[in-house]
């Protein structure tokens, strides 16, 4: 599959709306402290952008940032890089990170596919997280789902040998596609064995989105795989 095809993956819907003062403050006044503006074809030096040299976990599509914020607070021994295009969520996360004086969290407000292709070095990530990605639930839209083999090729390349992939979704059909894609990939191995979903790990916070899904009777499926090159 060509790079041109990968570039066409529409993994998000760019939402807009009125921003609160706190969100504006995060996006504007605090951006230089927490935001990263990628330069085309220039690799981001994690040892420069983060205060401490430690493992880097990438999360794509963090929404309002609640779970990523909590993880960064609870795991100071790791650096977290969040990629999201939803401005309100980006602004909110940065504002809350500032309130908590976090030094292990950075944010990019760009298309994640382009960031992965152009700005993340091979074998530079310890983990990759994708929680409750847009399921594109209509069958004719399934091709827009981000979890496809071409995308996972990029993730495998950016992860260290032994690095982890953790995905969670409340759409059973998407969970099945994730499982099929990951188990069919040459470099990923299910940590629990073939076709087995993982119990929710303690380190993954329960979000408002997830609680809402539970009230509606939705199940939640976690998948944890390792990258073995």
Model confidence pLDDT, tens digit, residues 138-159: 888 788 899 999 999 999 999 9
36: confidence class by pLDDT, cuts 50, 70, 90: very high
Segment 194-218 mean pLDDT: 88
DSSP string, 35-93: B----TT----HHHHSSS---EEEEE--TTSHHHHHHHHH-TTSEEEEE---HHHHHHH
Query: For the whole model, what pTM was predicted?
Result: 0.91
Set 111, 134, 157, 170: catalytic member: 134
Domains present along the chain, CATH in parentheses: 3-8+19-227 (3.40.50.150)
How high does pLDDT run on average in the chain? 91
pLDDT at 10 over 60: no
157 part of the active site: no
Q: What pLDDT is recorded for position 17?
A: 64
Q: What pLDDT is recorded for position 67?
A: 95
6: confidence class by pLDDT, cuts 50, 70, 90: very low
pLDDT at 106 over 60: yes
């Amino acid at each position: 599959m060509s790079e041109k095809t990968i570039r066409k993956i529409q993994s998000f819907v760019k939402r807009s709306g009125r921003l609160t003062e706190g969100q504006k403050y995060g996006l504007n006044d605090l951006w230089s402290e927490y935001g990263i503006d990628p330069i085309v074809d220039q690799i981001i030096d994690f040892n420069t952008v983060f205060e401490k040299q430690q493992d880097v976990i990438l999360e794509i599509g963090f929404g309002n940032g609640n779970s990523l914020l909590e993880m960064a607070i609870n795991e100071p021994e790791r650096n977290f890089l969040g990629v999201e295009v939803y401005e309100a969520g980006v602004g909110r996360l940065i504002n809350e990170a500032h309130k908590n004086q976090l030094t292990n969290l950075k944010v990019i407000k760009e298309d994640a596919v382009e960031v992965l292709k152009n700005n993340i070095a091979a074998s530079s990530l310890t983990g990759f997280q994708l929680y409750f990605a847009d399921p594109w639930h209509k069958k004719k839209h399934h091709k827009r789902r981000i979890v496809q083999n071409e995308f996972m090729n990029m993730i495998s390349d950016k992860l260290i040998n032994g690095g982890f992939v953790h995905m969670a979704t409340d759409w059973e059909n998407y969970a099945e596609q994730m499982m099929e894609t990951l188990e069919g990939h040459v470099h990923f191995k299910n940590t629990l064995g073939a076709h087995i979903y993982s119990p929710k790990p303690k380190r993954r916070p329960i979000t408002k989105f997830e609680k809402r899904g539970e009230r509606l009777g939705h199940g939640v499926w976690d998948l944890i795989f390792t990258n073995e090159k």
